[in-house]
Structure 1
């Protein structure tokens, strides 16, 4: 880790756009220890086995046929930062096209520093990621699955839990997301259209509240259904893992909590909880098969109101 080099990269940000992405990459990685991915043969086999078992179990409980990416990437923190800079750059392109006028009074250095800080912080905390490669150009793989091994190892140690069990839990969670996008081939395009609408409005200095409201509702469904499948598919009790992670989050200092809110991580937690409550109601009232109908088409997605009143969603789709 070289904080001087990180600061120098940010202050030296250049180019025509509001963000210097090369400087973002250098600054974020200079502020982050990459961590080791020297895995034993047993650890490599463990990741592969966890993903394979998760795919089998999730298929069984959901009734959905889906594939996981051909290549499962075991990443260090720098690998994850590089992969997600590509994603952030795609998402921000409409804003960048309109140049500094979109963010009057905000300099390229500030934008570059903010993005670097976000990626460095996330890179130090992300455990696993199913990436549907939204807004990609269609070349190469159409989805990806990452495990940030140094973070999984570090957090398992801090929580004082068995590494193999913790790794397996992360694998099952990420594979549930692969199941969702496999069940709904239209989901990527739907998310992209909502993202593009919201970002395009921001690029013109406006806020498309409806687009962001719909995007939040979709992501709440995604996170909630993943929790449902985890409850049904995981082959071990894991309430202790969830409880320890929650306790760690609540024990953060005020600055860390503020940063989490700034990055939208509090919203993500709310999506988990709200979506889980919605799908628990649906399964208790009907079945997992009924819950899976949410992926039959975009018209079956619950609205913001229906997420709080799942009985209205059931009445509409039955």
Structure 2
């Protein structure tokens, strides 16, 4: 950790003279603010990650009734690797906004924007356990899967749970996202269209409420279905893992809670909880496989009212 280097990178951010984000400085500052974490994997650990992903794929196919494959890229990373991967993602997604925005004080704005992004990425890199990345707005149709090994090891110790079992449960969660996007080829296109619309409106000083509302509804389905399916498909006891991880999402000290609120992680937690309650109700009424009808067609996504009354969705979709 080198906080002086982090501050220097932010203070000298250029943003190409436009007031945009200096992404090279973001990467430098974020990585200087936190340690990379240990990534000395034993042969058994490498084999464990591979087995967890493969077993999750097979179980999710069987229990969920989904046709999908795992991403071509599966990486076990440290925190700095994760930052590099996500700088590329943020840079790609924010490009339309940066190219359109004009500011009165570009240098000061660039320093602020660069510092803000570095703070966000360093915070997330310290906490994220795994990530399925559909590579939205990227060329091609590849997708990637990451596991942040030092965070998984530390979280297992903090939660006082068995590390291999916890690692496997995280693998099931992330592979479930791969299952969703693999089973619904239209999902990436829908999210990209809504994201482009929302960001385009923001770059013009407006706010597209409908685009953000649709993004929230879609992500509530994505997160909620993943929560339900990972629990139903996991091949070991998980009640203690669910209880402790849910507490971790809500917990932390005052600084942690403020940071989560500022980053919108409270909204993400509500997406998990609301969506999971919906899909658990559907799975209980019909079956786990029947709930997968949500990915057959964009029209099958639950409406806001249906999230609160799953019987309406069952009657409409009739899975």
Q: TM-score, normalised by structure 1?
A: 0.95
Could you say which residue in structure 1 is the equivalent of 2:306?
Answer: 306
| Root mean square deviation of aligned Cα | 1.7
**TM-fit CA distance, 1:315:** 2.0
Whether contact under 8 Å (2:101, 2:204) holds in the other structure is no
Could you say which residue in structure 2 is the equivalent of 1:59?
Answer: 61
Could you say which residue in structure 2 is the equivalent of 1:35?
Answer: 37
Whether contact under 8 Å (1:100, 1:106) holds in the other structure is no
Alignment partners' CA distance in 2, 1:308 and 1:58: 26
How has the CA–CA distance of structure 1 residues 167 and 179 changed in structure 2, closer, same or farther, with 3 Å as cutoff?
Answer: same
Whether contact under 8 Å (1:176, 1:226) holds in the other structure is yes
Q: Pairwise mapping of residues 198-237 of structure 1 onto structure 2 (< 5 A)?
A: 198-237=198-237
Alignment partners' CA distance in 2, 1:312 and 1:106: 52
Could you say which residue in structure 2 is the equivalent of 1:124?
Answer: 126
Could you say which residue in structure 1 is the equivalent of 2:25?
Answer: 23
How has the CA–CA distance of structure 1 residues 56 and 40 changed in structure 2, closer, same or farther, with 3 Å as cutoff?
Answer: same
Confirm or deny that 1:246 pairs with 2:246: yes
How has the CA–CA distance of structure 1 residues 136 and 218 changed in structure 2, closer, same or farther, with 3 Å as cutoff?
Answer: same
Deviations 1:85-138 (A, max 9, x none): 111111111110113349999711111100000000001111001111111022
Q: Pairwise mapping of residues 141-290 of structure 1 onto structure 2 (< 5 A)?
A: 142-290=142-290
Alignment partners' CA distance in 1, 2:144 and 2:104: 32
Unaligned runs of 5+ in 1: none
Whether contact under 8 Å (2:135, 2:143) holds in the other structure is yes
Whether contact under 8 Å (1:102, 1:204) holds in the other structure is no
Whether contact under 8 Å (1:34, 1:77) holds in the other structure is yes
Alignment partners' CA distance in 2, 1:100 and 1:5: 29
Could you say which residue in structure 2 is the equivalent of 1:77?
Answer: 79
Unaligned runs of 5+ in 2: none
Alignment partners' CA distance in 1, 2:233 and 2:109: 48
Partner secondary structure for residue 107 of structure 1: helix
Alignment partners' CA distance in 2, 1:172 and 1:251: 23
Whether contact under 8 Å (1:156, 1:162) holds in the other structure is yes
Whether contact under 8 Å (1:214, 1:304) holds in the other structure is no
Whether contact under 8 Å (1:102, 1:205) holds in the other structure is no
Alignment partners' CA distance in 1, 2:60 and 2:285: 21
Whether contact under 8 Å (1:66, 1:183) holds in the other structure is yes
1:49 to 33, 48, 51: 51
How has the CA–CA distance of structure 1 residues 65 and 265 changed in structure 2, closer, same or farther, with 3 Å as cutoff?
Answer: same
Partner secondary structure for residue 305 of structure 2: helix
**TM-fit CA distance, 1:4:** 0.3
Instruction: Please identify, of 191-200 and 276-285, the stretch whose mean Cα deviation from structure 2 is larger.
Output: 276-285
**TM-fit CA distance, 1:161:** 1.1
**TM-fit CA distance, 1:190:** 0.6
Alignment partners' CA distance in 2, 1:116 and 1:16: 18
Alignment partners' CA distance in 2, 1:251 and 1:61: 32
Alignment partners' CA distance in 2, 1:143 and 1:247: 30
Alignment partners' CA distance in 2, 1:136 and 1:159: 36
**TM-fit CA distance, 1:302:** 1.0
Alignment partners' CA distance in 2, 1:206 and 1:176: 35
Q: TM-score, normalised by structure 2?
A: 0.95
